[in-house]
Structure 1
Amino acid sequence: MPIERNWHSETVFAVLKGLESNESGLSAAEVGRRLQAYGPNVLPEKGAKPFWRIVLGQFISPLIYILVAAAVVSAVIGDLKDALFIAVVLLLNTIIGAYQEWQAEKSSQALKKLLSTQAHVERDGEVCEVSAEDVVPGDVIWLESGNRVPADTRLLSSQGLEVDESLLTGESIAGRKDSNWIGDSSATLADQQNMTFAGSLVSRGRAKGVVVATGSSTHVGQLALDVMGSGGGKPPLLERMERFTNYVAIGTLLAASGIGLLGGFLWGYTVVEAFFFVVA
C-alpha cells in the first residue's frame, strides 16, 4: 500500500482508494495489522548523549589540537602565563560549544512530546478516543479546536478550520484549511490547504480526515531525524563548515611550518622559540 504520495493533489476518492480505507474508518482487525506493519505512531528517538561526551566533542578539531599542544608545551617549559591564557580560551570555547549542543539535544527530546496526545478516531463507523501512538495510516480522525494533530492527514471535510503549523512552515499566523482544495503536486507545505501535519495545533473549526503518514514518515518525523542527526548523516551546512575548518587547519600548519623554518634559518630561533612564534 503506497504511503509516500502527493496526497494534496489527489481527490478524496483517490486518497481513500490509495490507502485502502473508507470514510467510516478501518476495522479493529485491520488497525492491528497496520500497527504491526508500520509500527506505533511515535517520533524517532535515540538515547540522550551524555554530557561528558558533549564536552569531549568540543576538542575534536585540528585547530584545537594546535592550541592544546601549545598550552602543554608552555606549561612544561614554565611559561605559565601563556599556558593559562590558552587554557582560558579553550575553556570558553568548550563552555559555549557544549551549551549550544546541549540545547540542541534538549530540542530533539522536546520533539518527542508533540505526538504524546490523544486522538479521536472513527473505526467500524464509531468514534472513539485512543492514544496517538495507536493511530495508523488509513485511520479516519476527527479534529477540533485545541487538538494536536496526531499524524499527517488528508482532510475529507472541514468547517472553518484553521491550523497553526509554525513548527513546520515558520508561519506565525494559523493557516486556513479547505478539504475541497486540490493543488499542484509541487505545492509547499504552507500552501497545502487540504492537509494537516503531525504536531500542528488546531486553532479554530472542525474537520474529518484520513491519516496518510505516521511516526518517522511524517514531516515532523523527518525533522526529528534531522535534529538528532540520525537520518543518514550530518546536515550539509555542518559538513561544509567542517571541511572549511579542516582546510584552514591544514593551511595554518603548512604556513606555520614554513614560518618556523624561516625563523630557525634566518633569525636563529631555537625550536621552542620558533614554536611559540608560530603559535602566536
Structure 2
Amino acid sequence: MLQKRKKHKLSTGQQKMKDVSEAFQQNLLRDIKLDSPFREHQMTIEQLVDIYPLSRINHIQPTKSVGLNDDEAEIKLSSATEKNVIYPKNRKGGKFQAFLHQFKNTFRILLLIATFLCFLIFALDQSRTKELAMGIILAVVLIVMCFISYYEELNTFKQISTFQSMIAIDCTVIRCGRKIIIPSSDLIIGDLVWIQNGDRIPADMRLIYCDDLQVETSWLSGENA
C-alpha cells in the first residue's frame, strides 16, 4: 500500500524566495536558454549515456565511469570542433595590423570608395570644392568608426585574456578508467573531469555526480562569498 506523503508548507520567506527564483528562471534567463546550444544540463544521466557513448558513463555508479580511451582522446583533440577550451589569439602583425583589419567591412569599404571618388573628382576639377568637403567628412567618419571598433576589439581581447588567465592550467580527467592530469587546453568534449577541493573549474561542464560540492564564484561575479 502506498503511503501518502506529507506536504511541507513553506514559510512566507521561503515562498517569496521560490517566487523570485521562478521569475528569474522564466524571465531573466529566458534569452540565455534560447541562445545557448547546450542542453546537457537538462538531460538525465541515461540520456547522456546515449549521446556520449565513448565517455562510458556508468549511470548506476558514476564514480566508476571509464571515460575516453587515449586513442579516442587523441583523435578528438586533433579536431578543432571537439575542443572544449578555446583560448583567444591576438591578430598577427601587431596593433597596426589590427587597426587596418577594421577597414575589412562592407559598409566601410563603400565609405572608402565614396571618399576616394570624392577626392578623384576634386583632383580632376578643382572647382568642385563640395566633393572635397564631402570627401574630408567621409574620411573623418571612416577613421573615427575604425578607431572606435579597434578600441572595442582591443578592450574585449584584454577582458577575455584576463578571464582566461583565471582558468585552471591543469585538470584531472578520467580516461581508460584512471585519473590523469592534463593541460586544460587539451580538454575535449566528452571528457570526464574529476573536481576536488581547491581545484578550479576548467570549462563548462555538466555534473553527473557530486558529494558535498561547493563552488566559490565571488571572483567571477564580484559578489561577496
TM-score in terms of structure 1 length:
0.43
Listed one character per residue, the Cα deviations across residues 30-63 of structure 1 (whole Å, up to 9, x for unaligned) are 14313313534442878837443433646422x6
Residues of 1 paired with 2:90 and 2:222: CA distance? 34
Residues of 2 paired with 1:155 and 1:138: CA distance? 12
Q: Which amino acid aligns with 2:186?
A: D
Maintained 8 Å contact 1:122/1:140: yes
Mapping of 1:117-266 within 5 angstroms?
117-123=169-175, 126-136=178-188, 137-142=190-195, 147-157=200-210, 158-163=212-217, 172=221
- Number of the residue aligned with 1:32: 71
CA spacing shift, 1:110–1:160, aligned 2, 3 Å: closer
- Given the alignment, which residue of 93, 101, 109 partners 2:141? 93
CA spacing shift, 1:116–1:79, aligned 2, 3 Å: farther
Sequence identity of aligned pairs in percent? Answer: 13
Gaps (5+ residues) in structure 2?
1-36
Question: CA-atom RMSD, angstroms?
Answer: 4.3
CA spacing shift, 1:73–1:85, aligned 2, 3 Å: same
Q: Which amino acid aligns with 1:154?
A: L
CA spacing shift, 1:109–1:55, aligned 2, 3 Å: same
Gaps (5+ residues) in structure 1?
167-171, 175-202, 205-280
Residues of 1 paired with 2:43 and 2:219: CA distance? 21
Secondary structure, counterpart of 2:102 in structure 1: helix
Listed one character per residue, the Cα deviations across residues 245-268 of structure 1 (whole Å, up to 9, x for unaligned) are xxxxxxxxxxxxxxxxxxxxxxxx
- Number of the residue aligned with 1:43: 86
Secondary structure, counterpart of 1:97 in structure 2: helix
- Number of the residue aligned with 2:16: none
Maintained 8 Å contact 1:24/1:122: no
Mapping of 1:4-15 within 5 angstroms?
6-15=39-48
Secondary structure, counterpart of 1:153 in structure 2: coil
Secondary structure, counterpart of 1:90 in structure 2: helix
TM-score in terms of structure 2 length:
0.51
Maintained 8 Å contact 1:123/1:139: yes
Q: Could you say which structure has the higher strand fraction?
A: 1
